[in-house]
Amino acid sequence: MDLFNHRLRLHADPSRVVVRPFHIAWGGGNGAPPSRTERLVGEVLAMTPEEARDQLETVLKDFEARHWQTRRVFMTRYDQIEDLLKLDGSKISDEKRQLIGAYFCHEYSYAAAALMNPSAVPHFDQTGIQPGSQRILMSMRAVGEGHISSVAFREGIINDQNQLRLAPEPPFATATDVHGWGDDDVPNGPVTVHRHRDSTLSGTVIFPITQAQSKGLEDMRIVQFTHDDGAVEWIGTYTAYDGAGIQSELMRTRDFRSFDLVPMTGSAARNKGMALFPRKVAGQYMMIGRQDGENLFLLKSDSLTHWDEGEKILTPVYPWELVQIGNCGPPIETDEGWLLLTHGVGAMRKYSIGAALLDKNDPSKVLGRTKQPILAAKDQDREGYVPNVVYSCGAIRHGDSLFLPYGIADSSIGFAFVKISELLAAM
C-alpha cells in the first residue's frame, strides 16, 4: 500500500499562552478572618491612585503584548471578583479594577507539554475553494502545565495532489469563556462556551469548565453530522477527566462560535474512545466504542446523549493488535461500506493504525479488516513523551483518498494520505 507521509509536523510550543483565571479560595465572611482574596483586594484598594497606576503599568508592560485585549480580560475578571465579594465598583477607579483583575489571572501555556491526537472534518466554510481542494478543520489535544488537556483548533486546505497548507496561527490565542458564571457556580452538567468575537478559530482553545472536566478534555473525535432533516451539525465526542474518574461528553456546534459541552448518560458513557457515525443508520444513532478496554463494540441509541452497552464486533486477531484494539475516529462512509480506522497495541506496547470495513446498512457486520497496519510507529515517529505510539482521532475523505492526521508519541502531530482503493484492497 502506498501511504504518503507529509513532511509537516506540529510540535508542542510553550510560547502559545492564554490568560486564565487564577483561583484562590474565597473564604472569609461571617466573622471569619479575611480570606486571601479579600486581603488582596483590600491591598489594592488601599493603594494611592499613583501606586495603582504604576503597578498596572508594570503588569501591562510585561503581558499586554502577549495577549489579546489584556485590559478587557482584566476587567472581565474583576467583574467576577466584584460579584463574589459584593464590591461597589462605582467607587473604584479603572486602574484599580484592572489591577484587581490581574491579581486573579495567570498565564497558561496550553501546549507546553504536547500537541497530539488530532481529528479532521470538512470546514464549515468552503467558499472560494479551488476545484480539487477542500478546506478542513482539525481539533487537537493540547497538553499544558499539570498535564491538563484542552481542545485547540487549526484550519487548513488539502488538495488532490496530497498537499496540505495550514492557516497561520494568529499571534494571540484566546480561551473560550462562559457568560454569566463566576468561580463557584459553573454547573457540573451541560455548559455553553463562546469563542471571542475577534478571535480566529485557529487561535481558539476550549478549556475544562466543569468539575468533571477539571483535569482535561481528552481525545476529541469530531464528525460532521447530518440530521434527518438535512441540517448539519459538528459533533465531537471526548473524555472528561477529573483526576480520578472519566465520563464521555459531546461538543456540539453549528457555527463554531458557541460550543455546547454536554455529558452523556448511560452505561456506555463511562468509557473512553466513543466515535459517532456521521448520520443515523437504520433509523438510529450509532457509535463505535470500546466498552471492555480490549474490543470494539457497535452502540445504538435513539438519543444522541444516552448510550448503553452494545454488540461486540471486532476483537484482536493479528500480532500488531493482540493487547487491545480501539477506533481512530468516526466511521467514514464509502460506496463499499463504513470505513473504520482502528488502532492496535502489540508487543512492547507499540501502537499501530489499521482499518476495517463495516456493512453500510448493518454496521455490526464486518466485511473485512487489514491484516497488517497501514501506519506504525517507526524511525522519527517513535520518540516522544510516550514512545512507540501513533494515534488518530479521525480522518477525512477527500475524493478517492483519506487525509489522516495522527499523533506521534503523545507529543506531536504528523499527516498522511492514503488511497481508499488501496486500503480496501489490503483487507
Instruction: Indicate which CATH number applies to the domain containing 389.
Output: 2.115.10.20
Taking only the tens place, the pLDDT of each residue in 249-299 is 999 999 999 999 999 999 999 889 999 999 999 999 999 999 888 999 999
Q: Which of 108, 127, 149 is the last residue of a domain?
A: 108
C-alpha distances in angstroms, 15 versus 203, 298, 383? 13, 41, 22
Residues 216 and 234 in one domain: yes
Domain count, the chain: 2
Band of pLDDT at residue 88, cut at 50, 70 and 90? very high
Output the pLDDT for position 189: 76
Q: Does residue 164 register a pLDDT over 50?
A: yes
Output the pLDDT for position 197: 81
Distance of CA 331 to the CA centre of its chain: 18
Output the pLDDT for position 4: 87
CB 382 within 8 A of CB 361: no
Residues 186 and 288 in one domain: yes
Residues 9 and 44 in one domain: no
Mean pLDDT, rounded, of the chain: 91
Residues 199 and 98 in one domain: no
pLDDT average, residue stretch 154-164: 96
Percentage above 90 pLDDT, the chain = 74
CB 298 within 8 A of CB 292: no
Residues 193 and 66 in one domain: no
The pTM of the full predicted model, rounded to 2 decimals, is 0.90
Q: How far apart are the first and last CA of the chain?
A: 11
Residues 103 and 170 in one domain: no
Owning domain of residue 96: 17-108
Residues 255 and 371 in one domain: yes
Residues 369 and 381 in one domain: yes
Residues 135 and 90 in one domain: no
Q: Which of 58, 78, 108 is the last residue of a domain?
A: 108
Distance between CA atoms of 220 and 253, rounded to whole angstroms?
14
Q: Which of 108, 128, 151 is the last residue of a domain?
A: 108
Distance between CA atoms of 195 and 150, rounded to whole angstroms?
14
Residues 236 and 88 in one domain: no
Q: How many degrees, rounded to 5, is the angle at CA 18 between CA 393 and CA 237?
A: 25
Distance between CA atoms of 19 and 109, rounded to whole angstroms?
9
Residues 344 and 422 in one domain: yes
Residues 122 and 98 in one domain: no
